[in-house]
Every structure is written in C-alpha cells, then in structure tokens.
A and B are shown apart, each in its own frame.
Chain A
C-alpha cells in the first residue's frame, strides 16, 4: 500500500472470495458420499474449487495490498472520472428487491411500473408525467404481450380481474 492512501474497497471483495473458499472447504466434508461413489465422489470437485478460491484470494489480496488495482470497467454511459455514487447503488438494489417481493401481492405490471419509475427518479429523471406514463405503458404493454401474445405466466394482480371483467 502506498503511504497515506486508503485501503481499496476491493479488499472487501477479496475477503468475500476467501470467505466463500473457506465456507466451501468447511462444508464439503458434510456432503454425503454414497458407498458406490467413494472413488472420485461428490466431494472431489468442491475441494478443488474451495482451494482455488482461497488460493486466488491470497494472491489477489497481496496484489491489492501492494496497491496494484485494475481499471474499473468502461462503458458508453460511464463517467470514468466520476466517484462511486453508493447511494444510487443501494437504492437500486433495494428497489429491485422490493419489486420482487411486491409481484405476488400487487401483480407484475404495477410492481414493474414502480421499479421503472423508481430507477428513473434515482438516476435523475424529474418530468413526472413522462415517468408515470412511460412506466405504465411499458409495464402494462409488456405484460399484455407476454401473457396474451406469448402465453407466459406473469401474475396480473388487480389488472387480471379487470381483464376478466371485460371479457
């Protein structure tokens, strides 16, 4: 590590990798081995991968501590000089998890419309009518295409009742 520089957040990711490896090595002995499969059984590959995880974590940890990092991924919409906006990261994860949990009670179309508007607002959209209209059109439109056009299963929530009422 260079003097005065903060330890990289990558260290957390490396620790996670090491933890995953340790967990793999620790739980592998509890995998049941049927008597027929003693030779090259279900524990062999997990041991190899657990070892690989721990080994890579150690080597990578040493690299990170010596301050050698890789450039973050580039992309068309990515500002390379920008700082990581952790608030946006957290909000997006929470929004998506909330969307997943809401599908069963309120139906996919409404849950999807909420996800779309939430993401748009977090990323800086402020034209309220446009957000509302595009969220509803996209969510209900895609739902209708998938359910009626392609015969997929997507819970409709209140919309399902509405459609059945009309039919």
Chain B
C-alpha cells in the first residue's frame, strides 16, 4: 500500500465521531492551557500528557496532536495581548504583536497569527507526510555509531544555541544527562545512582522531570519575583478576520516562515526559537521601505515568525518519528508520550504500526483546521483567561502539576522527586541556565549511552569505529562547528 492509501486510512480513523471528539478536546485543552501566562508549549504538553494516558492509544495520539498545536498557538495569544513589553522578548511574536495590539490592531495580529499557523502547519504536515517514509527507509541503514554521532550533534547544538550563555547550556545538559543515568542499566541490569532508594531504580520519569522543571520550577520562579498590581491585558476589538491589505502583507511572510521553519525544525539545530528569530530577521531585511515599521507593529513580524514556529513544530516530528530522536524539549516530552502508548518511534515504526502513525499524521491536519475554527471565534474567551489574578493562576498550575505527576507515577515519592526537581528548575532560571537542554539530556542520554556501548562492543573497544562511516564523520564535524562557530563569531563581534 502506498503512503497515500495509508494516509486516507488514517483520515478514516481520525474522522470517526469518537476520535473527532478527542481531537476537539485536545485542541481546546491545548489552547486553554497554552494561553495561560507563564506556560510554554513544552509545559502545556507535559501538564496535559497524563490525561491522554487514560484513553486508548489511537485516541490518545489524536488528542495529543491537538494539544501540541493548541499549545503552540495559545502561547502566541499570550505574548500579543499581555502588556509587558520587552519581557517576553524570548517570544519573537511579542516584538511586533504587542505593538500592534497597543495600536488597536490586536485582532489583526491574532488573525494573522492564527491563519499563518494554519497555513504553515498544513504545509508542514504535508511535507512531513512526504518525507517521513523515505527518511525512515534510509534510517534503517544507520548503525549504532551513526546514532551516537546524531545524539552527539543534538547535544552540541541544543547546548550551544539556546540561551545567552552556551556554558550554562552545557551545565544544564550535564544535569539532564546525570538524571538520565539514575536507575537500572538497560544493557547489564545493574542499579546505578539510585542511592538505595527502590523508587529511583525505575529511573526518573520524563513526565515528572518535565513537569518539575517547567511547571513547578516556573511557578516558584514567578513567585520569587512576582509583578504585583493589576494584570494589564490589551483590549481587543470585536472585528475578526483579516482585512485585504493585511492579507496582502501577510501571505508571503507565511510562506517564507514555513520554508525557514520546517527544515530547521527537522534537523537537530536548537528547536523553534532559532527559526522564529531567523524569520523575523528575514522579514525585517525584506521589508524595504516598510522597514521602519519594524519595532512599531509591523504585521510581517507577526506573520513570519508564527508561521516559522508552527512549521518547525511539524518539522520536529520528522526526526522524532523516523529516528526516534527528539530535537526540542517539547519533542522530548512527546517521545515519552509515545513510549507510554506502547509506540517506539524509529525507522521501523512505519512498518510495525502504520495505522497509528498515519492516524497521527491525519489528526495533525485535522488539528490545524480545528485550531482555526476554534480560535478566531473564541479569542474573546482566551483574553478573559489572561485576566485571572496571578495568585489563583499559579495556585492552579501547581495543583495541575500535582495531579499530572500523581496520576502518572501513582506514588507520593514521585511527588517528592517533583519538588526537588522543581527547586532545581527554580535555581536554574534564577541564574539564567536554559531549561530545555536538561530535558533533552535526560531523554537522549540513555539513547546515546546505549548506542555508544553497542558500537564499542561490536568494535571490541576500538574507539575509531565511532568515526568509521561518512555519516558519523559529517555529524561530528557539524557538532564541532556548532560549538566553535558561535565562539568565533562572538569573539569577532567583541573585537569590532
């Protein structure tokens, strides 16, 4: 059967009344939680993950696709409408979106973000369905040494590209790698670093680590320096849709954003942040005489990065589904989700569980449509959510963190591990250590170790075997570049 037939089968499964309902609930919950201030896409996915454990695998995947895209979209609403300029610079959409909202063009900013997400998400999913099978077929020829090289590249790019200080990125990665060591060694069955605690022998669950680092850590950090006083939400007019003039200015940035976002999302290169910055810079450069509008509310500066962000979200699924390699924190949480549904992403997935993968891909298309249908009319509701007084909001987030962690670990010890990791997450934020490398280290560390040891066992301990194939040589060269290129560039800008 060709991919198209399989995709149509996937649609048939995703379009059943029950699965459609789960897709709807997923998009609704994803947007709802994603809109809440202080909750990024990775945290949304981690918080809502335990809910999907309680439904059958196909429905869970479909719901999860909705949560993924919903969470992505919800975050942009927050950054456009919350009146805290400058602070959300990490979200590129806020740069222009916030200015647009202040100038009374909030509705247009939200509309271009929603439509751009839809266009990019749909094209991105289309590209995913085209390249997934060829990439998976090619990936079956990869050896353990090649896999180890790939993980090494992912570690280097993630640590070096995120945050202001690469060294702190490496520190965060090392913490994650250590957490990944805890538990029973998969190859020899030896207990490692469990400190005699039986609970730790099973390893640190990714859900606990992600909820701890993101939800608990973030809540404690916000509590430590909460912005007091009333919440300042920019009012939005009731007219929805995009006027022709804005549409004309938006469609090219949407497409450019899509083609910047998808490939960069698909290679291990630091995740969605990089793509939104690239798209923003591109639009600014191409704006010509409109360039002076940037910084004052240029719609291109919302349309491009939003599209890039969503296309990258689809791109990330390529290595995740075909190689089993997550390249962003959100993808790391998704890998944990798939494993818990009994699905092992990797080259064989498309052969062993075609009906599930194609149902997932079909629901990504559907999720995008639902997102558009839901968000344009419901934006008023999302705006109200932004007004929740902060003491109640963070009380609620911590309550949901406990719910998710307890529902997935079924033990009080799990919650105590959650507090310890939460405190660590707070300390890391306080001193500007990026969080994402730790989550990736935790999930990719064991993958790297397994492949490294398998490769060395085959070669009888000869480390040269790690560099034996052309592919692994290219990967290690790129990894070295990822570390040293930023250092060289930085030195040069400093001496200028």
Q: Name the residue of chain A whose CB is nearest to the CB of B180.
A: A49
Docked complex: B433-459 residues within 8 A CB-CB of A:
433, 445, 448-449, 452-453, 456-457
B495 at the interface (CB under 8 A from A): no
Interface residues on A, range: 35 or more
A120 at the interface (CB under 8 A from B): yes
CA distance A97 to B422 in the complex (A): 11
Q: List the A side residues contacting B410 at CB < 8 Å.
A: 153
B395 touches A117 (CB 8 A): yes
Tell me whether A72 and B181 are in contact in the complex, defined as CB-CB below 8 angstroms, given that A85-B224, A116-B399, A146-B403 are known contacts.
no
B429 at the interface (CB under 8 A from A): yes
Q: List the A side residues contacting B88 at CB < 8 Å.
A: 74-76
The one of B193, B224, B228 in contact with A89, judged by C-beta atoms closer than 8 angstroms, is B224
A1 at the interface (CB under 8 A from B): no
B416 touches A97 (CB 8 A): yes
Tell me whether A120 and B395 are in contact in the complex, defined as CB-CB below 8 angstroms, given that A37-B188, A77-B390, A92-B219 are known contacts.
yes
The one of A39, A135, A154 in contact with B461, judged by C-beta atoms closer than 8 angstroms, is A39
Q: List the B side residues contacting A146 at CB < 8 Å.
A: 54, 403, 407
B221 touches A75 (CB 8 A): yes
B89 at the interface (CB under 8 A from A): yes
Q: Give per-residue flags for B370-394: 1 if the beta carbon is below 8 A from chain A beta carbons, else 0.
A: 0000000000000000000111101
Shortest Cβ distance from residue B263 to the other chain A in the assembled complex, whole angstroms: 28
A76 touches B87 (CB 8 A): yes
Shortest Cβ distance from residue B26 to the other chain A in the assembled complex, whole angstroms: 14
Query: How many chain B residues touch A (Cβ–Cβ < 8 Å)?
Result: 84
CA distance A86 to B426 in the complex (A): 11
CA distance A73 to B51 in the complex (A): 29
Q: Which of B53, B220, B418, B431 has the most CB of A within 10 A?
A: B431
Tell me whether A32 and B84 are in contact in the complex, defined as CB-CB below 8 angstroms, given that A69-B431, A100-B419, A152-B407 are known contacts.
no
A93 at the interface (CB under 8 A from B): yes
B185 touches A42 (CB 8 A): yes
B480 at the interface (CB under 8 A from A): no
Q: List the A side residues contacting B168 at CB < 8 Å.
A: 60, 70
A9 touches B389 (CB 8 A): no
Nearest 4 A/B pairs, CB to CB: A70-B432, A100-B415, A40-B456, A123-B391
- Beyond contacts A59-B167, A123-B226, A123-B391: 19 other A-B pairs, Cβ-Cβ < 8 A, are A27-B193, A40-B457, A45-B445, A45-B452, A46-B192, A53-B175, A53-B178, A75-B221, A76-B87, A78-B227, A92-B219, A96-B418, A100-B419, A103-B415, A108-B406, A115-B402, A123-B394, A152-B50, A154-B407
23 pairs of residues in contact across A and B, judged by CB atoms under 8 Å: A34-B188, A45-B453, A56-B174, A70-B433, A75-B218, A76-B37, A76-B84, A82-B227, A89-B223, A92-B398, A93-B419, A96-B418, A97-B416, A100-B416, A103-B415, A112-B403, A115-B402, A120-B391, A120-B392, A123-B394, A124-B391, A134-B392, A138-B399
